Copies of this chain bind each other. A is one copy, B any other.
Amino acid sequence: MTFDEVLADLQAQAKTTKHAETGLWVAAQLRSRIEAGKLKPGSKLAEEALCEALGVSRNTLREAFTALHAEHIVTRIPNRGVFVAHPTADDVREIYRVRRFLEPAAVLWAGDTSMERLSGIIKAARAAAAEGDISGMASANQDFHRAIVDRAGSERLNSLMDQVLAEMRLVFHSMAANPAFHEPYVEDNAKIVELLEAGNLAAAADFLAAYLDRAEAQLLAAVER
C-alpha cells in the first residue's frame, strides 16, 4: 500500500469514528496500519498530510508520534520527520536479548498455569499450518509467546512483551518474508506445551531458550543481507 492510499483510508476512518482520547486514537490508527504492513518500514510520515487525513491538529498528531516513538515503532530524525522504524541487526539482537530473559523465566517461575489457553493456541496453529495459512501461523505464534509471558501475571512484563512482538512484526515486514519461516515453530511450540503439561519446567525452558537462539540466528541472517 502506498502512503497516499493509507491517507485515503485514514480519512474514511476519521469521518465515521468518534475519538474519546484523540491522541491515543490517532496513535492506535497509525499503529494498526504499520503493524498490518500497510505502512512499510522506512516510510516517511508527513505531518501535514496526516493531519488533514485524520482531521486532527498537528499538535495532536505529534502527541501520537511521541507515543509511537516510545514504543520503538517509529524513528524520529530531528528536523527531518518521523519514519516507520526499520529494525537493524542490533535491534534484532536486543529483541532476542529481552525474549531470552522473559520467556524462559516465565516458563520456570510462573505461578498459576492455565494450560487450556496454550493448547488452544497450538490447535489454531496446527489448523493454520494444515491449510498453509501463513498469517494464521504467524499470529498463532505471536499469541503463543504472548501467552507464555502472560503466565507471569505482570502488566508491565506483558506490555514489554507486546512492544517486543510489535517490533518483531516490523522485522518481518522489513525483510522479504520467507513464507515457510513459521512452519517449523508450530511443532516446537507444541513440544513446549507438552513439556509444561508433564511438569518438566526446566526442560521446557531449555528447549525454549535453544529455540529462541535458533530463531535469532535465522532472522539475523535474513536481516544482514
Contact = CB atoms under 8 A, between A and B. Distances in A.
Contact of A157 (B98, B155, B163): B98
Contacts of A163: 156
A104 B101 contact: no
Contact of A100 (B97, B109, B160, B164): B109
A102 interface: yes
Oligomeric state, in copies: 2
Interface residues of A, number: 24
A122 interface: no
Interface string A95-112: 001101110111001000
Given A66-B66, A156-B160, A101 B94 contact: no
Interface of A: 59, 63, 66-67, 70, 94, 97-98, 100-102, 104-106, 109, 152-157, 160, 163-164
A-B pairs with the 6 shortest C-beta distances? A97-B154, A105-B105, A101-B105, A98-B156, A98-B154, A160-B160
A155 B94 contact: yes
A interface, over-half SS:
helix
Nearest to A97: B154
A101 B155 CA distance: 13
A67 B106 CA distance: 28
Nearest to A101: B105
A109 B59 CA distance: 44
Contacts of A152: 97, 101
